[in-house]
Chains A and B, each alone.
Chain A
Amino acid sequence: MKLDRTNIKTGIGIVSLILAFIVPVILGINQYLLTVLIITLVFIIYSSAWNLLALSGQASLGHAAFFGIGGYVSAIITNSLGLPPIVAIFVGGFFAAFIGILIGFTCIRMREWFLAMVTFGFAIIAHTITTELPWLTGGWDGIPAKRLISVTITNYIMYEYYIMLLIAVAVVVIIYQLTKSRMGLALEAIRENELEAKVMGINVTKYKLMAFAVSAFFTGIAGALEIHHFGYITPEVYGMDISFWPIIYSISGGLFTIGGPILGTIVITFIWEILRTFGLMYERFILIGVILILIVIFLPRGLVSIPEKIKRSHP
């Protein structure tokens, strides 16, 4: 088999997938490590979803709105209707998608930083609505959420990890298929030049709304997964940093690519956890800020572009 780029990429994909599946076997059932991996998987879903919207040129600064809405809806319906969390997360996702369409509709004519401001605003509005409805959401204190797998089951954390892994793989595959479909091509055309895309007969409004809906759907699922892992939800899920993490992950990995958000999430989480062991707090955020600035300036296409860069400088 010839080792061209596609084959190498598929190879890396398969190897990392196998690695992900056998990690608990190699490292044993380590509560801390599996928790970190679970959160990494949640954020892989989240970053990939954010990146899909960015693919259409719409960079959202308020994705925490969808993350939080997915989480709250899922928590509320598991508590009141007794649905199992694994079903409820999809309801949360659908609700987030519905809100996503509404928000997308108001944003349809806005671009770049107008859009950034407005999406940022929607996260703050969602935060305020949540804290102002204490009978439903528990206000500032939040509400408990059922665990994805009951903690009474032995090695529940391992089952949780595998469920998250399956969902993450499914989401990444779906997003990959979408970017290869008509929709992905349309979104890229819209990002490059909206007017030209329109002239070519692409229904810009339809595809932009679709991007919003799909992105919000997966973000809502990620949010629901996270809160069913932690077992509670508070308005902190609407925090500024929750909106910014997928951006940081996607940019450091590589915008507009499939591997970028995955690689970025893993690398940054790894650095983050290493720094945690040194007991650093603010220094971690400072370092993340510096990394982000350096990547935007020197490596605008992210970590996934490094092999290409090396190849170009040493032909």
Chain B
Amino acid sequence: MDLSVLLQILVWGLYAGCIYILLAIGLNLIFGVMKVVNFAHGELLMLGAYAAFWIYTLSGINPYLIIALAMILLGIIGVFIERLCFRPIMGTGKLNEIFLSLGLIYLFQNLAALLWTTGSRSIHSPYSDVSVSIGSIRLPLDYIIIIVFTILFLIAFQLFMKRTTLGRAMRATSQNREAAALMGIHVERMDMLSFALGSALAAAAGSLWLISGQIANPYMGSIPAIKAFAVIIIGGLGSIPGAIVAGLTLGIAENVLPLFIQSFVGLFGVSMSFTAWKDTIAFFILIIVLVIRPTGIFGEKGE
């Protein structure tokens, strides 16, 4: 395989990995604070992408500026989901969370299909024709912007969690809910905040995905969300460095592995394409990791 092709795929994987990381960090935050898993997280990504699409179509301002608006909008939706759906069932068992999320998936996907049809939507980034040449490879400028944006989001998120009072309060709640409540932290407000932040990060992922030339449709969220789950399971529940490592690894692995296997079987004279297996690679990694370590690689405890 050509080295420049490999580098190209590597960058593509890095870019896909960024989307998974943004989703995974949000999921991780919600899980950390509330000990709740929102299986409908991908639908928040989808709503974020639609929010970006509509704000852009109606206003026409630079799509990268819209991300903030989409994040605020989804943050508000996130608060409603937390208050109306997840708070009433807190502490009634993990199965209920799974089932409730299924209801949310049905609700959001079909609401989007009803309101905006199932047709694909896309927007035209002002930089879509611009690309940067590094050596022999050419990178679309949008990919670089997305990678930079993700890094900025991660730094901002980390600063918020480590340096601000609210961030500390959230970390305290995720470490020990009862003790945090006894220290005067309004834990239910932390739940709301974690959901708002998680949804906003999903919206960021959705709008970045759309701006970089991907299409939006009501069902776009399920596959990235599944991969984000794989990322946090592989990286360990509640571990942010783990999520970053796992997200990048998955993004690169699912883009590089099919080609590797293809050239490997090519050595034996078999010509077969493995690109159809791209979406299953996340699951194979997930299954292997969980069989060996049922709590994930970086996770300390599974419950």
> By the criterion CB–CB under 8 Å, are A289 and B280 in contact?
no
The answer to the question of B15 belonging to the interface, with a C-beta cut-off of 8 Å to chain A, is no
Out of B94, B103, B283, name the residue touching A289 (CB < 8 Å).
B103
CB-based nearest B residue for A132: B276
Which one of B106-114, B139-147, B172-180 contacts A? B106-114
> By the criterion CB–CB under 8 Å, are A118 and B287 in contact?
yes
> By the criterion CB–CB under 8 Å, are A292 and B106 in contact?
yes
Chain B 96-136 residues near chain A, CB threshold 8 A: 96-100, 102-111, 113-114
Report if A112-B98 is in contact (Cβ < 8 Å); known contacts: A117-B226, A286-B107.
Answer: yes
Report if A113-B287 is in contact (Cβ < 8 Å); known contacts: A59-B98, A286-B110, A297-B85.
Answer: no
Task: Provide the B84-100 mask, 1 if CB < 8 A to any CB of A, else 0.
Answer: 01001100101111111
> By the criterion CB–CB under 8 Å, are B102 and A122 in contact?
no
Query: How far is it, in angstroms, between the C-alpha of A291 and the C-alpha of B106 when the chains are bound?
Result: 10
CB-based nearest A residue for B292: A109
> By the criterion CB–CB under 8 Å, are B276 and A131 in contact?
yes
- Report how many residues on chain A are interfacial, defined by Cβ distance under 8 Å: 41
CB-based nearest B residue for A62: B283
The answer to the question of A251 belonging to the interface, with a C-beta cut-off of 8 Å to chain B, is yes
Query: How far is it, in angstroms, between the C-alpha of A191 and the C-alpha of B157 when the chains are bound?
Result: 38
The answer to the question of B34 belonging to the interface, with a C-beta cut-off of 8 Å to chain A, is no
Query: How far is it, in angstroms, between the C-alpha of A297 and the C-alpha of B279 when the chains are bound?
Result: 33
Task: Provide the B260-303 mask, 1 if CB < 8 A to any CB of A, else 0.
Answer: 00000000000000001101101110110011001000000010
Task: Provide the A221-262 mask, 1 if CB < 8 A to any CB of B, else 0.
Answer: 000000000000000000010001001100100010000000
> By the criterion CB–CB under 8 Å, are B114 and A297 in contact?
no
Chain B residues with Cβ under 8 A from A117's Cβ?
226, 229-230, 233, 286
> By the criterion CB–CB under 8 Å, are A282 and B95 in contact?
no
Report if A286-B222 is in contact (Cβ < 8 Å); known contacts: A112-B94, A114-B294, A125-B280.
Answer: no
CB-based nearest A residue for B105: A289
CB-based nearest B residue for A61: B98
Chain B nearest CB from A151 CB (Å) reads 33
Query: How far is it, in angstroms, between the C-alpha of A254 and the C-alpha of B210 when the chains are bound?
Result: 41
Chain B residues with Cβ under 8 A from A291's Cβ?
103
Out of A112, A131, A286, name the residue touching B95 (CB < 8 Å).
A112
The answer to the question of A293 belonging to the interface, with a C-beta cut-off of 8 Å to chain B, is yes
> By the criterion CB–CB under 8 Å, are A296 and B99 in contact?
yes
The answer to the question of B37 belonging to the interface, with a C-beta cut-off of 8 Å to chain A, is yes
> By the criterion CB–CB under 8 Å, are A282 and B277 in contact?
no
Chain A residues with Cβ under 8 A from B283's Cβ?
118, 121-122, 124-125
Task: Provide the B10-38 mask, 1 if CB < 8 A to any CB of A, else 0.
Answer: 00000000000000000000000000010
Chain A residues with Cβ under 8 A from B100's Cβ?
292-293, 296-297
Chain A nearest CB from B244 CB (Å) reads 20
> By the criterion CB–CB under 8 Å, are A109 and B89 in contact?
no
The answer to the question of A128 belonging to the interface, with a C-beta cut-off of 8 Å to chain B, is yes
Chain A 116-172 residues near chain B, CB threshold 8 A: 116-118, 120-122, 124-125, 128, 131-132
The answer to the question of A106 belonging to the interface, with a C-beta cut-off of 8 Å to chain B, is yes
CB-based nearest B residue for A280: B114
Chain B nearest CB from A63 CB (Å) reads 13
Chain A residues with Cβ under 8 A from B39's Cβ?
113, 116
Chain A residues with Cβ under 8 A from B107's Cβ?
286, 289-290, 293
Out of A59, A106, A124, A251, name the residue touching B279 (CB < 8 Å).
A124
Chain B residues with Cβ under 8 A from A285's Cβ?
106, 109-110
> By the criterion CB–CB under 8 Å, are B294 and A109 in contact?
yes
Chain A residues with Cβ under 8 A from B286's Cβ?
117-118, 121
Chain B residues with Cβ under 8 A from A54's Cβ?
95
Report if A292-B291 is in contact (Cβ < 8 Å); known contacts: A128-B276, A283-B114.
Answer: no
Chain A nearest CB from B28 CB (Å) reads 13
Report if A106-B106 is in contact (Cβ < 8 Å); known contacts: A59-B98, A292-B100.
Answer: no
Out of A61, A114, A124, A297, name the residue touching B280 (CB < 8 Å).
A124
CB-based nearest A residue for B117: A282
Chain B nearest CB from A216 CB (Å) reads 17
Chain B residues with Cβ under 8 A from A251's Cβ?
99
Chain B nearest CB from A207 CB (Å) reads 18
Query: How far is it, in angstroms, between the C-alpha of A59 and the C-alpha of B96 when the chains are bound?
Result: 10
Chain A residues with Cβ under 8 A from B279's Cβ?
124, 128
Out of B92, B114, B233, B294, name the residue touching A286 (CB < 8 Å).
B114
Chain A 58-72 residues near chain B, CB threshold 8 A: 59, 61
Chain A residues with Cβ under 8 A from B94's Cβ?
112-113
Chain B residues with Cβ under 8 A from A118's Cβ?
283, 286-287, 290
A59-B98, A289-B103 known; 6 new pairs, CB 8 Å cut-off, are A61-B98, A118-B287, A124-B279, A240-B222, A282-B114, A289-B105
Q: Can you list 17 residue pairs at the A/B interface with Cβ under 8 Å?
A: A59-B98, A110-B290, A110-B294, A117-B226, A117-B233, A121-B282, A131-B276, A251-B99, A255-B95, A283-B110, A288-B103, A289-B103, A289-B107, A293-B100, A296-B89, A296-B100, A297-B100
Residue numbers of A with Cβ under 8 A of B are 54, 57, 59, 61, 106, 109-114, 116-118, 120-122, 124-125, 128, 131-132, 240, 244, 247-248, 251, 255, 282-283, 285-286, 288-293, 296-297, 300
10 closest residue pairs by CB, A with B: A289-B106, A121-B283, A292-B103, A289-B107, A293-B103, A285-B110, A112-B94, A282-B114, A282-B110, A109-B294
